[in-house]
Every structure is written in structure tokens, then in C-alpha cells.
Amino acid sequence: MISLTNIEKRFGDNLVLKGVTVAIAEGSVTALVGPSGGGKSTLLRCINLLEIPTSGTVRIGDETLEFRPGGKVPAADIRRLRLQTGMVFQNFQLFPHRTAIENVMEGLVTVLKWSPQKAHERALALLEKVGMVHKADAWPATLSGGQQQRVAIARALAPSPKVLLCDEPTSALDPELAQEVVDVLGQLASEGTTMVMATHDLRLASKIAQEAVFLDAGTIVEQGPSAKLFGNPERERTKRFIATLKQEAAEKDGGA
């Protein structure tokens, strides 16, 4: 379904991803975990080409792009691959001058050239799916963080992407609001939505993901079934990181 092969990403002299290879099956949920600066968000953004890989190959479904140092990728090729994905950002990225339903409709009307009526029907259905139809006409500023993120998820799903990409979808939320988002993403996972998420939220990753990839310093330290990686990791570096996540989660729960 999705394959990343020998992905390398440089920012100037800084080598952020070092030949990363990952395969993601259709209908599966994969969690990218690791310390800040380890490369998980950069790898996620390389899937939909918000970051252009320095070298390597990205394949989503039938669309494949190869990258070489100094090579120029045609804008039409980038757009064609990017249309296969939906993106959920850490800080929601809703248009403040659009209502909830207008945010969901925006890409359908302006990019895909749907009629307003068709886009409105699709947006209403998606807001219903994420439990936000009662706030369809609300402005983002009047919504809680969890509500804004649920609208953002509906917007990302609007064009029926092959894969939903989530970049730290709960990190800006307190535990109670984060649970709203975990529940929605869990529902999507149970329906077979293909997802890749970069996250520090062990509750989110362990509840939803079937597979997990632990990245540190731009390389894959360990990958495999999430239950094994979170419950009984093989590598010492992974064990230390998971122990830290569990401690942070316990402290959050204790302070909630």
C-alpha cells in the first residue's frame, strides 16, 4: 500500500533521515515513535511531500516517485501523490474565518472543484462521523482544542484519501480532550482506515496502532507489532524510551 525505500533527508549539512525503509499495509495503523528530533515527524511529512526527500522512493498505491540529490520533482507529480493523503496537524490548522463545515468543504470546492451542494453533504456526513455535526456552523475560536482537532480530522478525510497522516494529533490537548481524539481515531481504525501517526502519546499508539516504528537519530532502531514493541521491546534503546513514555503517561494521569 505505502512503501518508503531508503529515504534520506538533509537540511543543509544536517542528515535527519538516514536511509529509512518502511512498508505500511492497506487498512493498517502504524505509529512512528521516538524522541524529539529523532525523525518521526520528518518521515511522516516525507510521505505526502510536505518535506521532499533528498533521495529514496515513495510509493502510495499506484503512485511512485523517486528522489535523487539535486533532482527536481515536477509540481504535478507532487500534487498527484499528495492527493492520495490526508493530513492532521498538531495545532489543527483550521481556517479561522471559516466555520467548521466550511473548513471541511474548502478543499473539496477549491481543489477538487466539487459543487457546493455536494461538498456540503459530504462535510455534514464527516462531521457526523467525528461527533461534530452539532457544531457545523461554529467558528473555530469557539471550539475546544479537542473539537477543533475532530473538525480537522473530518477535513483530512473529505477527499477520501488512501492514507490519513497524523502528526502528534493529541500533543496540544489535555488528557480529557485528547481522549476525544483518541476515540475518533480508534473508530476510524476499526473501520479499516489506513493511518500513519507520529506521536508521543503511548495511550493513542498502543490502543490504535497494529504496527510501531521506533526512530532515533534518523534511523529505525526497532519495528514490529505495536503490542510487542510497547510491551516487550528487544533493543535496550527502545526499552529506555518506552519506560520514559510510560512514566510520563502515569504522571499525566496522576495530575489529571
Give the pLDDT score at 71: 87
18-25: long-range pairs with CB below 8 Å, 24+ = 18/217, 18/218, 18/219, 19/56, 19/219, 20/56, 20/215, 20/218, 20/219, 20/220, 21/220, 22/213, 22/220, 22/223, 24/163, 24/194, 24/196, 24/211, 25/1, 25/194, 25/211
* Residue 243 main-chain phi, psi, to 5 deg: -60, -40
Out of 16-20, 157-161, 200-204, pick the least confident: 200-204
Q: What is the dihedral of CA 30, 46, 123, 132, to 10 degrees?
A: 50
Pull the grid cell for residue 180.
476525544
Which H or E run contains 211? strand 211-216
* H-only helix segments in the chain: 40-47, 75-82, 100-110, 116-129, 145-157, 175-190, 202-208, 226-231, 236-255
Give the pLDDT score at 219: 96
How many C-beta atoms lie closer than 10 Å to residue 191's C-beta?
9
What CATH topology corresponds to 2-84+162-255?
Answer: Rossmann fold (3.40.50)
Q: How remote is the C-alpha of 207 from its chain's centroid?
A: 15
Q: What is the pLDDT of residues 225-237, one digit of tens each?
A: 999 999 999 999 9
Domain residue extents for the chain: 2-84+162-255, 95-160
pTM of the model as a whole: 0.93
What average pLDDT does this structure show over 50-62?
94
Give the pLDDT score at 254: 65
Distance CA 93, CA 116 (A): 22
Q: What is the pLDDT of residues 163-204, one digit of tens each?
A: 999 999 998 888 888 889 999 999 999 999 999 999 988 888
Task: Determine what percent of the chain is predicted with pLDDT higher than 90.
Answer: 81
What average pLDDT does the chain have?
Answer: 93
